[in-house]
């Protein structure tokens, strides 16, 4: 639900296609979310682009299934990871969660996917808020 929030900041979502630059939406989104959520939420958000690069490196079918926009952004983000990058990525505490997040994001792109209403996410989001951020 929150992983691409950085795409909404300063039109970062259009940066790859219109400006051919990587606006680092994953870092910007994680930084914004860190005001309210801890690492269990922010780290997979921060790592979801790296997870795409990782999956492209270890699963050729994954890259073949990317949209044209995602392929363009992949190039701007560094392309598939090399062996050393894969090892560094996998060593990060939230790497597996980021890969799971990436897979969920891909599954959610199905136009026939049943999506719960936005308000249904409120209890989960409230449970994940940092104690100091709760009203």
User: Per the structure block, which two tokens stand in for 107?
Assistant: 């599954």
Indicate if the pLDDT at residue 21 is higher than 80: no
pLDDT value of position 67? 84
- Work out how many domains the chain is built from and give that number: 1
81 pLDDT higher than 90 = yes
Q: In the predicted model, what is the mean pLDDT of residues 17-24?
A: 64
Look at residue 73 and tell me whether its pLDDT is greater than 90: no
* CATH number for 101: 1.10.3210.10
User: In terms of residue numbers, what domain contains 44?
Assistant: 5-133
pTM of the full predicted structure? 0.83
Written as six digits, the tokens of 69 are 């926009």
- b/e map 8-31, b = 16+ CB within 10 Å: eeeebbebbeeeeebbbbbebbbe
| pLDDT at residue 111, as a whole number | 85
């Amino acid at each position: 639900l929150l992983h691409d929030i950085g795409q909404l900041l300063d039109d970062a979502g259009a940066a790859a296609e219109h400006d051919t630059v990587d606006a680092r939406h994953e870092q910007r989104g994680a930084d914004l979310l860190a005001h309210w959520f801890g690492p269990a939420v922010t780290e997979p958000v921060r790592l979801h682009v790296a997870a795409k690069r990782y999956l492209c490196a270890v699963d050729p079918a994954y890259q073949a299934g990317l949209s044209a926009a995602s392929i363009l952004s992949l190039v701007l983000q560094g392309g598939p990871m090399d062996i050393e990058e894969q090892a560094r990525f996998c060593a990060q505490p939230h790497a597996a969660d980021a890969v799971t997040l990436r897979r969920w994001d891909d599954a959610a792109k199905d136009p026939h996917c049943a999506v719960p209403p936005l308000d249904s996410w409120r209890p989960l989001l409230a449970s994940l808020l940092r104690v100091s951020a709760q009203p």
